[in-house]
Structure 1
Amino acid sequence: MGRPLVDTEGVGKHRTVIGTVETVLTPTADRPTRVARVAVFTVFGLNGFLLAMWVVHIPLITDRTGVAKSTLGMFILLMAGAGIVGMRITGPLADRFGSRTLVAAAAIIMSAAAIGPGLATGPISLAIALACFGFGNGALDVSMNTQAVHVERAYGRPIMGAFHALFSGGGLLGSLLGAATLRAGWDLRMTLGSAAIGGVALTFAVLPRLLRDTDTARATERAGDARIPTEAVDDYVARSAEHGSAAMKNAEPDPPLAKHSEPGPPVGKDAESRPSFAEDSPPDSSVAKSTDQREHNRKVLALAAIAFSVLLAEGVAGDWSTLQLREHLGADAATAALAFGAFSVTMTAGRLAADRVSGIFGRVAVVRYGMLLCALGLALIMASPWIPLTLSGWALMGLGLSGSVPQIFTAAGNLGSDKAATDMSRVFSIGYLGLLAGPAVIGWLTAVIPLTTAMAVPLIAVLVCCRYAGVVAPEPTDRLRR
């Protein structure tokens, strides 16, 4: 009997297999769309690169400005707050002027602001520099993801995971180049200034290759000619099963889409005789709907809590990995920068493989065992007396975290609600708070306990995620049954 095989996002490739006959219709992108995809890859990589250049130079910047770790935690929170402001401003502007324009503006702002921490000579100037850098990062985060959605829509198949893998790849490149310049003895201002100039130049190079938002509809229309609605495939297969395999070979089935056409309004006697289901609905239907809504809200909040915990751990790794290696084991600045590099390389590799692994073992397994790997990595980080073993801990942490966020967000978008975007936005926003809160909490704790001991906070968070990983399990109405 035939069965539909649908890709992980429910768009793009649709395949119906009946006996030995197989039909595959895959949307193909035109050349401007493929070029735009490479351009967006570049922007995501630039974003990760600039953030990494800040992270690997944190020890030098704090030494230069005389900022204590507890104060640095407050400044990181300030940078994150400025990022939220950038996000809130950029969203409406992108709707009005197009994501292409906002990507260019935000990338230039962030690139130019990258030199700011290197020029800072005290706490006040560092706070101003980080606020500008955070604003640019928040604006770029929203605008480049909006542009990525347009490119993905034009492609007609899921490619978002690859964009985020390139972000991690940019972070890896930034950490390695940062470590190399530190080992070579480059001046901090020269390193960050070179990154700023390179970022602005790269932005001008990719700008003409980005998609205008008005181009997306035309590209989507071209790609859409190769798509078959999933409901139509399901309908065809279901009706074929009812008639048996023999009938399926000989019968001429009705067009799959015929069933889905909307009937016209009843007229004449039919209008008078047709029962009104709205009037005859049971009186307790509103109670049932209210109960379903409460249950739905609980699921959204559960996913948001898991996202908060996972991103808390990721934020801690991003902002405190280099300082932890330097403080705990006395590593020099160049060696300490490798901690974030180890985290980034496994995060990138894990993101590239996450979709395939999830398809084999399921969402819950990816989150649960990923969190166990992350917990093992944090335990090594806290207990290790050797630099190589500590670097292995950061690598395990990156691998464990890499696949979890995509599974959480996929689950949030497939809760069976007619407001999937609202569900996802709620999970995103609370998760982002975890990304902001984690580094800040660690900074406050370092005023009373050692930095390595403070790593117990993300350790507890990922163990909680491991325990409640079942919340990402597919819903009965979830088409992505994995």
Structure 2
Amino acid sequence: MMHRERPGGIGVGTSRAAWQARAVFFLNGLVCASYIASLPALKGVFRLDDGALGGVGFAFAFAALVGMQAMGPLTAAVGAGTVLRVSLAALPLLLIALPSARGLGGLLVAVGAFGAVHGATDAAMNVYAVGIERAHGRRLVNSCHAAWSASAVVASLAMGVTTAAGLDLRVRTTVVAAIALAGGMVVASTLTAGDPVRPRRRGVRTRRGRWPRSLIVWGLAGTALMVCDGGVLGWGAVMLHDGRGASLALSAGAVTGFAVGQTAGRLVGDRLAHRYGAPALFLVAGGLGVCGLMVAVLMPEPAVAVAGFAVAGLGMSVLLPLLFSAVGRAASDDADSGLLVTRFTGFVYTGILLGPAVLGVAAGRVGIAVAMGMLVPVLAAVTIVAGRAMSSVPHT
């Protein structure tokens, strides 16, 4: 199926659907980032040691992977909009339940449920955004991921301010949940009617067992890309503080600079893909990311390294959204697109989980600077291999 790509970004006729999708990403990021920012407080409330907190993190991640993989058949059966109508209501309510759980066992159950619904929402919202691209021939995924990044920044800052003000964890999560629930209800009421990924007709089977070669290539590329992303976010500040002697405040600039660069790049990524084409943008942006990461790793001056991380974030920002779009555009129809996008999401999430852990093991053996340097050839390989594979996807 050919998808004619119209110039100029989201037009008037599709702006409502585009803003619906961005709103879903924003609300998901708001709730998820609030959970992440609450982890130190949850550790104190439940008196967890580092090992127990790691178990909580594993429960969240494993449940999220299960939720993601269940979404392919489900979106093909009922539509992505229908899934999101339910998950947008359930996710804020589960956030409230976390600090009220009874003991470690209760917390694990609550976090598992929260992770499963988050994973389902994450997969379904990417399916929804890709479906709008397929239906209207206009790029959207970059701006959706920018909305997620922006909401994560807002949530993290809000949780930090309210913590400093001495508000109880239950109060903080309830306020965030109330805002997310109200916003979710407004957005959810408009989703199903314009669902770009409609249920498959009765009697038409999905190709559940088929894994196209392109999906495997892009899936592995997405995994490697998220290893790089997770490595920077998890260890960039540590490298500057321990290896370069930077202050804690300056070291935090590695994460801040990278996140700001990613948000900025995603805000313009859709327009650049329209103008220059996805394959060209992927290669140039990946090259920029490689250069930025090299500066961050090789330059001894911490302030210059922070600038390198910002450039790396700018370059890497559009790579994952472009991969999501490529997976969706390579599918034969909308239902098949939903299956492939959810499978790809599973690849990506595996990379997010592996990145900090793999880099931590490598850092223990060869040092954090060398371990971070190993990300450079990985990112270069992703840029070349996935960029070339993207050329085979119909964009016009």
**351, 355, 367: which is aligned to 1:438?**
355
Aligned residues of 1:370 and 1:403 also touching (Cα < 8 A): no
Aligned residues of 1:152 and 1:158 also touching (Cα < 8 A): yes
Could you say what secondary structure the match of 2:48 adopts? coil
Aligned residues of 1:312 and 1:439 also touching (Cα < 8 A): yes
Q: Which residue of 2 aligns with 1:344?
A: 259
Q: Which amino acid aligns with 1:145?
A: N
Aligned residues of 1:413 and 1:424 also touching (Cα < 8 A): yes
Measured after TM superposition, the shift of residue 472 of structure 1 is: 2.8
Q: Which residue of 2 aligns with 1:472?
A: 386
**163, 180, 187: which is aligned to 1:206?**
187
How far does the alpha carbon of each residue in 1:424-446 deviate from its partner, in whole angstroms, 9 at most, with x for none?
Answer: 77655433321222245567x59
Aligned residues of 1:103 and 1:144 also touching (Cα < 8 A): yes
Mapped partners of 1:74, 1:138: distance in 2: 18
**61, 77, 97: which is aligned to 2:78?**
97
Q: Which residue of 1 aligns with 2:224?
A: 309
**34, 46, 54: which is aligned to 1:53?**
34
How far does the alpha carbon of each residue in 1:255-277 deviate from its partner, in whole angstroms, 9 at most, with x for none?
Answer: xxxxxxxxxxxxxxxxxxxxxxx
**4, 12, 16: which is aligned to 1:11?**
4
Q: Which residue of 2 aligns with 1:365?
A: 284
Measured after TM superposition, the shift of residue 68 of structure 1 is: 3.9
Mapped partners of 2:324, 2:297: distance in 1: 24
Mapped partners of 2:259, 2:345: distance in 1: 21
Mapped partners of 1:407, 1:214: distance in 2: 22
- Structure number with larger C-alpha Rg: 1
Measured after TM superposition, the shift of residue 195 of structure 1 is: 0.9
Q: Which amino acid aligns with 1:348?
A: T
Aligned residues of 2:3 and 2:134 also touching (Cα < 8 A): no
Measured after TM superposition, the shift of residue 140 of structure 1 is: 0.8
Mapped partners of 1:27, 1:179: distance in 2: 35
Q: Which residue of 2 aligns with 1:35?
A: 16
Could you say what secondary structure the match of 1:57 adopts? helix
Measured after TM superposition, the shift of residue 311 of structure 1 is: 0.8
How far does the alpha carbon of each residue in 1:400-455 deviate from its partner, in whole angstroms, 9 at most, with x for none?
Answer: 4312223445566788x979958777655433321222245567x59x959x9668
Aligned residues: 372
Measured after TM superposition, the shift of residue 171 of structure 1 is: 1.2
Could you say what secondary structure the match of 2:139 adopts? coil
Could you say what secondary structure the match of 2:374 adopts? helix
Aligned residues of 1:310 and 1:405 also touching (Cα < 8 A): yes
Aligned residues of 1:77 and 1:437 also touching (Cα < 8 A): no
Q: Which residue of 2 aligns with 1:17?
A: none
Aligned residues of 1:66 and 1:122 also touching (Cα < 8 A): no
Aligned residues of 2:220 and 2:347 also touching (Cα < 8 A): yes
Aligned residues of 2:60 and 2:112 also touching (Cα < 8 A): yes
Q: Greater helix share, 1 or 2?
A: 2
1:160 aligns with 2:160: no
1:176 aligns with 2:162: no
Point out the more displaced range, 158-167 or 90-99: 90-99
Q: Which amino acid aligns with 1:148?
A: A
Aligned residues of 1:11 and 1:156 also touching (Cα < 8 A): yes
Q: Which amino acid aligns with 1:38?
A: W
- Check 1:411–1:471 CA distance in 2 against 1; reply closer, same or farther (3 A cut): farther
Measured after TM superposition, the shift of residue 193 of structure 1 is: 1.8
Q: Which residue of 1 aligns with 2:293?
A: 374
TM-score by length of 2: 0.74
Measured after TM superposition, the shift of residue 105 of structure 1 is: 1.2
Mapped partners of 2:58, 2:224: distance in 1: 17
Mapped partners of 1:301, 1:215: distance in 2: 25
Aligned residues of 2:237 and 2:254 also touching (Cα < 8 A): yes
Measured after TM superposition, the shift of residue 106 of structure 1 is: 0.9
Aligned residues of 1:45 and 1:167 also touching (Cα < 8 A): yes
Q: Which residue of 1 aligns with 2:377?
A: 463
Q: Which residue of 1 aligns with 2:91?
A: 110
Measured after TM superposition, the shift of residue 141 of structure 1 is: 1.3
Q: Which amino acid aligns with 1:132?
A: A
Structure 2: which 5+ runs fail to align?
199-211
Q: Which amino acid aligns with 1:80?
A: A
Mapped partners of 2:386, 2:159: distance in 1: 37
- Check 1:329–1:430 CA distance in 2 against 1; reply closer, same or farther (3 A cut): same
Mapped partners of 1:341, 1:112: distance in 2: 30
Measured after TM superposition, the shift of residue 391 of structure 1 is: 6.3
Aligned residues of 1:162 and 1:352 also touching (Cα < 8 A): yes
Aligned residues of 2:61 and 2:353 also touching (Cα < 8 A): yes
Q: Which residue of 1 aligns with 2:321?
A: 406
- Check 1:364–1:214 CA distance in 2 against 1; reply closer, same or farther (3 A cut): closer
- Check 1:98–1:368 CA distance in 2 against 1; reply closer, same or farther (3 A cut): same
Aligned residues of 1:83 and 1:137 also touching (Cα < 8 A): yes
Measured after TM superposition, the shift of residue 56 of structure 1 is: 2.6
Mapped partners of 2:304, 2:147: distance in 1: 27
- Check 1:345–1:27 CA distance in 2 against 1; reply closer, same or farther (3 A cut): closer
Aligned residues of 2:296 and 2:309 also touching (Cα < 8 A): yes
Mapped partners of 1:80, 1:27: distance in 2: 34
Mapped partners of 1:170, 1:435: distance in 2: 19
Q: Which amino acid aligns with 2:144?
A: F
Could you say what secondary structure the match of 1:181 adopts? helix
Mapped partners of 2:100, 2:369: distance in 1: 30
Q: Which amino acid aligns with 2:171?
A: M
Measured after TM superposition, the shift of residue 120 of structure 1 is: 5.4
- Check 1:99–1:399 CA distance in 2 against 1; reply closer, same or farther (3 A cut): same
Q: Which amino acid aligns with 2:175?
A: S
- Taking every aligned residue pair, what percent have the same amino acid on both sides? 25
- Check 1:142–1:470 CA distance in 2 against 1; reply closer, same or farther (3 A cut): closer
Mapped partners of 1:337, 1:466: distance in 2: 25
Aligned residues of 2:296 and 2:306 also touching (Cα < 8 A): no
Aligned residues of 2:3 and 2:137 also touching (Cα < 8 A): no
TM-score by length of 1: 0.62
Q: Which residue of 2 aligns with 1:230?
A: none
Aligned residues of 1:309 and 1:461 also touching (Cα < 8 A): no
Could you say what secondary structure the match of 1:140 adopts? helix
